Structure 1
Amino acid sequence: MKLCVLGCSGSDLPGHHLTSFLVDGRILLDAGSVTSSLSLDEQAAITDIFVSHAHLDHIKDILFLADNLIEFFGHHTRPPVNIRGLPEVLDAIATHLLNDTIWPDFTVIPANSPVLTYQPMPAASHVSVGGLTIANHPVNHAKHASGFVLWGPGEKEILAYTGDTGPCDAWWHWLSNFHRPVRNVITEASFPNHLEELANISKHLTPRLLRRELEKLPYKPRVYIYHMKSPFSEQIQAELLESLDGFSYHLMREEETFEF
């Protein structure tokens, strides 16, 4: 399983791209920075978008991706791109974005060969895509949000992605009882410790809160940190050094590639 970081920042600033990860060249985990990171041919290879939640920084490039791909659908040359996520998340996208007011509804155009299609994933369900199995589970963020676990046939070919989340016992309990250890976890650290109240209100994590979450697992995974708010990044990094003492972790950067 190959994962490319298209965007991993909690802030939209020059040099900082919003959340999006490309898996095996065809699967997106969220779509905050797609069209500014991939060539048109690379965009055309995308078959599925797994959306953790409907906040704009995780979905905005669904709009521009659909617009860019219109030429591939006018001659009925390929199936639509699947947008997958909790039913409530997909309903929010349909109601508030792809509604012919904010953006054209690319689930019905072009006629008879739409660019996009909705594929709801009820909580605790799974699908098979491109040789991988992908399962979801609710997390504590937004009105409705979920994280995902992706795994392939190899024993170590497994990855969890929390998406944005605050403290969430149910998610870590689910991982703890997964059918095999989830040794790689992409998760967030949005705010420094002194903004813990803000983190709790907005349902995010600080380094200290992240440590408490990871300790809910019966083993120590390799941790990949994303979604740091750029104005606080230096402070967050210093606090992670202390809070994640004893854990193996990595601060994600745009254009990095990982093999799982």
Structure 2
Amino acid sequence: MGQNLQSGVRLRPIDLARGHGLSAQAVRNYEEEGILPAATRTPNGYRVYSPLHTRALDAFLALVPGHGHRTAAKVMRAVNRGEAEAAFRLIDESHAQLLEDRGTLRAVENALRDLGSGAPEPGATGATFIGPLAHRLGIRPATLRTWEQAGLVRPRRDPRTGYRVYDDADVRDARLTHQLRRGGYPLEQIAPIVAQVRAAGGLEPLRSALEDWHARLAARARSMLSGAAALDAYLRMRD
């Protein structure tokens, strides 16, 4: 289907590029990567695109904000190979990740409520060591040491053994850091939030971060809807 010119419209790479704010080289690269169906060629070897390619590029660019460049490219390659089911599976996986991220956000909000109410941190049973805490969080001990270097957790040292000892506040900070890292926040953004949580009445920065997180998830969900509509339009034209 990608080899057919539709409605007699013939587009050069620059024509397709200008309509999408891209360079002609970007369009050629997308074709070579399988994101666009193969172009027809003139006797002189020049590429000729059609409205089908316009719709394919529309779909790819609409998919990127919600699914990311890598997944969007995989979806388009699958469609162009005639493997629609594989493309749908990739989209399903993105939606599943979005749902998981929403669950993570709820977990952080629950942690905020616990911190604000003075409720004990779930699972906190007194002092613990780096191995058990890493196991509880599902991370490596090296990750906890990195967080310590960034000032996100501040375990004390056992004067006799030199081992790190994490009290309830340290466990709380580690859990909070873990949740925010899963939400996509870099360590430098988490540090001031944890510092404020440690201070009396310092939860407002975390509330602000959660509001931003809500907004980003909502924007991603809307982008997924837009991407689905554009991909459906492309599939209909291919059919």
Pair in the same fold by TM > 0.5: no
TM-score for the superposition, normalised by structure 2: 0.20
Q: Which has the higher contact order (CA 8 A, sep 6+)?
A: 2
Greater fraction strand = 1
TM-score for the superposition, normalised by structure 1: 0.19
Greater fraction helix = 2
